[in-house]
Structure 1
Amino acid sequence: MPSGAGSLRGLQRSGVINKFLFLAYSFVWLIFMAYAWSLSRRQAQIKKSLEELRNKIELRPPSGSRSS
């Protein structure tokens, strides 16, 4: 086997490994971005619920007062 054929095979294998490495790296970033987006949505929902609760507390009459 000529030495050129071995190095060509090594380059082909290296290219395949680089493709898998890129795909794995992209997949990890995709999962991270989806997780960050999910956290952002949850935070917005909690913020909205907290604001609604604050409004209910502000509108509630004091507990010691009686309406006749």
Structure 2
Amino acid sequence: MVETVLLESEQGLDHSAVAAYLRTVVDSPGDRSEITLSAGRGRGHVAPPSQAEFEVNAERASPEGRR
């Protein structure tokens, strides 16, 4: 299967903004109607499939040289 990136964004968000973004997908109509996801200046239109891959990447910045 070929993977096509429809929307990609990296930004700092507080907890409530992350929750609101995820609610956009969770609250989409059960008939899998197309929804619009926005991130920064990007916008993607998708019809959520019945099965989806969910990926989370959490990062923490530290002073240079420390881990």
Larger helix fraction of residues? 1
Question: Could you say whether these structures have the same fold, taking a TM-score greater than 0.5 normalized by the shorter chain as the test?
Answer: no
Higher-Rg structure is 1
Larger strand fraction of residues? 2
Point out which structure has higher relative CO (alpha carbons under 8 A, 6+ apart).
Answer: 2
